[in-house]
């Protein structure tokens, strides 16, 4: 068994201002996603420019923060909101929902695609590898905060977590670290490799939904259910699993449709030797985006 190190959730105090590790993890995740998106946009045949990535990440940050917080309050935090009407604003205390953040990002990227004349599917596909790296750092933030622990266990790598009833520490699964690996590093690696070359439009999006849903459903079997919600059915079904099942179904359907219709991705320009002499590659891509956006 491993004693939980009790990391101070506050990294730095500057007078009355406290900078929390949880917030730092989010900033590191956004910075990593920005750098990776810039790197992908700089590759040969990419139809994305650096300025596109900067605006794209700004929209994504708003979607994650607003959607993640609103989703958490609605899905998991209603009792806390009833007890404290300012609770939705206290992001530094933790409490972000991935499923709410996903909905927020989808809305933000839809707006970005409409304003830039890009196909919505192309924007979603470009974004598909990036959440994994953000989820990795976000789950580390959960671990530092000492929240979202797993169920009691006797495995050798269990962490001894303080007992809320005042008794001896309880050995629990470090489910935050499981999620950091599965929803974070593994998900990112699969999507980053998959999107290195052109795929049918919506294929990366579908694969992301499937991989995340499978990882989340699996970890929920060892994760302690949220306080105030508990198990929803059969003594083991959790809210996280219920919210992930539609993702799995939509992801499978999206993958099938992507490979059935095989619409070319607009995230890549035509190769130079395949571009007709009288037609420039960039206008063709722009025209494709304009038609698809309508």
Query: For 116-166, how does the pLDDT look when each residue is reduced to its tens digit (9 = 90+)?
Result: 999 999 999 999 999 999 999 999 999 998 888 999 999 999 999 998 888
- Determine how many CB atoms are found less than 10 A away from the CB of residue 66: 17
In this structure, the dihedral spanned by the alpha carbons of residues 116, 192, 241 and 150, taken in order and rounded to 10 degrees, is: -130
Query: Could you list the residue range(s) of the whole structural domain that residue 121 is in?
Result: 2-293
Helices 98-116, 50-75: axis angle to 10 degrees equals 140
DSSP one-letter code for 168: S
pLDDT < 50: residue spans in the chain: 272-294
Domain count, the chain: 1
Beta bridge partners of 162: none
Residue 282: burial class (beta carbons within 10 Å; 0-12, 13-18, 19+): exposed
- In angstroms, the Cα distances linking 238 to 55, 214, 218, 232 are 36, 14, 11, 6
Integer distance in angstroms from the first to the last C-alpha of the chain? Answer: 57
What local confidence, expressed as pLDDT, does residue 87 receive?
76
Number of C-alpha atoms within 13 angstroms, CB side, residue 216?
26
Report how far residue 293's alpha carbon sits from residue 202's, in angstroms, rounded to the nearest whole number.
14
Beta bridge partners of 109: none
Handedness of CA 107, 190, 204, 212 (dihedral sign): negative
Structure tokens at 195: 């999107």
Report how far residue 270's alpha carbon sits from residue 214's, in angstroms, rounded to the nearest whole number.
34
pTM (2 d.p.): 0.84
Residue length of the chain? 294
If you search the block for the tokens 């671990």, which residue do you land on?
143
The SS3 of residue 229 is: coil
Strand arrangement of the beta sheet that strand 170-172 belongs to: 2-3, 159-161, 170-172
Helices 98-116, 130-145: axis angle to 10 degrees equals 150
Report how far residue 203's alpha carbon sits from residue 267's, in angstroms, rounded to the nearest whole number.
12
- Tell me which residue of 99, 76, 63, 75 sits closest to 247, measured CA to CA: 99
Using DSSP bridges, classify how beta strands 10-14 and 2-3 pair: parallel, antiparallel or unpaired.
Answer: unpaired
């Amino acid at each position: 068994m491993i004693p939980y190190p009790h990391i101070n959730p506050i990294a730095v105090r500057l007078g009355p201002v406290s900078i929390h590790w949880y917030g730092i993890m989010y900033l590191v995740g956004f910075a990593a996603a920005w750098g990776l998106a810039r790197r992908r946009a700089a590759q040969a045949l990419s139809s994305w420019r650096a300025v596109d990535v900067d605006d794209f990440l700004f929209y994504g940050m708003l979607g994650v923060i607003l959607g993640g917080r609103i989703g958490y309050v609605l899905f998991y935090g209603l009792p806390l909101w009833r007890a404290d009407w300012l609770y939705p604003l206290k992001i530094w205390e933790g409490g972000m929902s991935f499923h709410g953040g996903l909905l927020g990002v989808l809305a933000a990227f839809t707006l970005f695609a409409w304003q830039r004349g890009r196909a919505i599917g192309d924007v979603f596909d470009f974004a598909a590898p990036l959440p994994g790296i953000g989820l990795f750092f976000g789950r580390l933030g959960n671990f530092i905060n000492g929240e979202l622990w797993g169920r009691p266990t006797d495995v050798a790598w269990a962490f001894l977590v303080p007992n809320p009833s005042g008794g001896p520490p309880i050995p629990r699964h470090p489910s935050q670290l499981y999620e950091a690996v599965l929803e974070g590093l593994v998900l990112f690696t699969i999507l980053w490799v998959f999107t290195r070359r052109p795929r049918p439009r919506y294929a990366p999006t579908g694969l992301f939904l499937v991989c995340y849903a499978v990882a989340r459903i699996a970890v929920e079997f060892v994760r302690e259910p949220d306080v105030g919600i508990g198990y929803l059915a059969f003594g083991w079904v959790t809210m996280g699993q219920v919210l992930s099942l539609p993702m799995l179904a939509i992801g499978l359907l999206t993958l099938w449709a992507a490979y059935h219709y095989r619409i070319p991705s607009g995230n890549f320009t035509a190769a130079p030797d395949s571009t007709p002499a009288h037609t420039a590659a960039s206008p063709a891509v722009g025209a494709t985006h304009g038609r698809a956006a309508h």
